[in-house]
């Protein structure tokens, strides 16, 4: 069953020793799978594992993964003593060189870049990953369900448009055969009839468009990622419809082709959102 590329999933749970962890997954249209991470520093080393877990469920789309850690139970203040010593040494030399008598106060020291940092005790990747997985999978499940729900709505829309195309093409096929027969009967010479057929015969275009519509319907009920295939088929349908419009010699057929092109445009807009 087809899935939309647009969706949202989130889950929140206590993950010791981090505290409360919230994972949000947002996805939108994209030609390929692109994953963007916004992770706290203490979880950066898990990015590759999180990415692989997402790739098993999501095949196309631009996905943003935001992980927030709240109320960490393992937070602590770290003093970079080596860096502080380096700062003090350089400050002392500057004071001597420029004859500066002012003292450096504590407030200045603690606000120097990198002196103080708030961190979390690092936990072994294997241990933390086993605790993070249920939270991630729950968020992923929500995301996939939303993408499936939107996919079902798109499927109904596309099936309806494809059926309209089939009926319109059946009308054009019947009307063209009748009109061509009547027109040829009024042309006096074989040479003129041959020239007219060469310029206006749309039988091949009708056959190709019939094939594309049937192929499109078959792809709609396939499992897996079919968005690119559907987009390609829709482009081919549009190409054949343009040729039909250019070669048509009847106003009734031209009018119906214009309606078909409108339906194909609507199809192309929707398949852009299919995984």
Share of the chain above pLDDT 90, in %: 62
Give tens-digit pLDDT for 166-175.
999 999 999 9
Give tens-digit pLDDT for 59-114.
999 999 999 998 654 456 778 888 888 988 888 888 888 888 888 888 888 888 88
Do 113 and 230 share a domain, yes or no? Answer: no
Supply the range of the domain harboring residue 67: 7-73+123-147
Mean pLDDT value across residues 131-150? 97
Position 2 in a domain: no
pLDDT interval class at 183 (50, 70, 90):
confident
Do 158 and 222 share a domain, yes or no? Answer: yes
| Alpha carbon separation from 188 to 91, 185, 202, 242, 255 (Å, rounded) | 105, 8, 22, 30, 29
Q: What angle do CA 28, 30, 33 make, to 5 degrees?
A: 95
- Can you give the pLDDT at residue 122? 52
pLDDT of 124 above 60:
no
Name residue 65's beta-bridge partners: 25, 37
* The pair of three-digit structure tokens given for residue 180, joined into one six-digit string: 């061509």
Do 108 and 225 share a domain, yes or no? Answer: no
| Alpha carbon separation from 223 to 56, 64, 126, 147, 265 (Å, rounded) | 15, 24, 34, 14, 24
Position 13 in a domain: yes
Position 80 in a domain: yes
pLDDT interval class at 154 (50, 70, 90):
very high
Pairing of strands 75-79, 116-120: antiparallel
Do 153 and 265 share a domain, yes or no? Answer: yes
Give tens-digit pLDDT for 192-227.
889 988 888 899 999 999 999 999 999 999 888 999
Pairing of strands 33-38, 7-15: unpaired
Do 98 and 127 share a domain, yes or no? Answer: no
Mean pLDDT value across residues 32-50? 93
How many domains, in total, are found in the chain?
3
The CATH number linked to 16 is: 3.30.230.10
Position 169 in a domain: yes
Do 190 and 87 share a domain, yes or no? Answer: no
pLDDT of 126 above 80:
no
Position 215 in a domain: yes
Residue 80 CB contacts under 8 Å (≥ 6 apart), including other chains: 114, 115, 116, 117
Give tens-digit pLDDT for 103-115.
888 888 888 888 8
Share of the chain above pLDDT 70, in %: 94
Do 163 and 64 share a domain, yes or no? Answer: no
Do 50 and 95 share a domain, yes or no? Answer: no
pLDDT of 123 above 80:
no
Do 89 and 216 share a domain, yes or no? Answer: no
pLDDT interval class at 48 (50, 70, 90):
very high
Position 1 in a domain: no
Do 162 and 197 share a domain, yes or no? Answer: yes
Query: Which residue matches tokens 């059946």?
Result: 170
Do 134 and 61 share a domain, yes or no? Answer: yes
Do 69 and 81 share a domain, yes or no? Answer: no
């Amino acid at each position: 069953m087809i899935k939309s590329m647009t969706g949202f999933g989130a889950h929140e749970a206590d993950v010791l020793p981090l505290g409360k962890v919230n994972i949000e997954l947002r996805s939108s249209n994209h030609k390929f799978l692109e994953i963007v991470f916004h992770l706290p520093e203490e979880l950066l080393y898990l990015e590759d594992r999180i990415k692989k877990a997402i790739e098993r469920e999501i095949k196309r789309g631009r996905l943003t993964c935001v992980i927030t850690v709240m109320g960490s139970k393992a937070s602590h203040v770290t003093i970079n003593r080596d860096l502080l010593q380096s700062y003090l040494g350089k400050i002392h030399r500057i004071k001597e060189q420029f004859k500066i008598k002012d003292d450096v106060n504590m407030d200045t020291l603690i606000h120097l870049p990198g002196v103080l940092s708030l961190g979390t005790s690092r936990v072994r990747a294997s241990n933390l990953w086993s605790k993070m997985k249920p939270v991630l999978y729950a968020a992923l499940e929500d995301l996939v369900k939303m993408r499936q729900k939107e996919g079902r709505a798109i499927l109904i829309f596309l099936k309806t448009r494809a059926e309209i195309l089939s009926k319109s093409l059946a009308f054009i096929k019947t009307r063209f055969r009748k009109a061509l027969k009547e027109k040829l009967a009024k042309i006096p010479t074989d040479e003129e009839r041959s020239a007219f057929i060469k310029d206006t015969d749309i039988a091949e275009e009708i056959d190709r468009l019939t094939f594309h519509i049937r192929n499109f319907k078959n792809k709609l009920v396939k499992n897996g990622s079919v968005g690119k295939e559907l987009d390609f088929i829709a482009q081919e349908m549009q190409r054949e419809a343009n040729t039909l419009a250019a070669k048509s010699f009847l106003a009734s057929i031209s009018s119906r082709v214009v309606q078909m092109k409108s339906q194909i445009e609507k199809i192309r807009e929707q398949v852009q959102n299919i995984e």
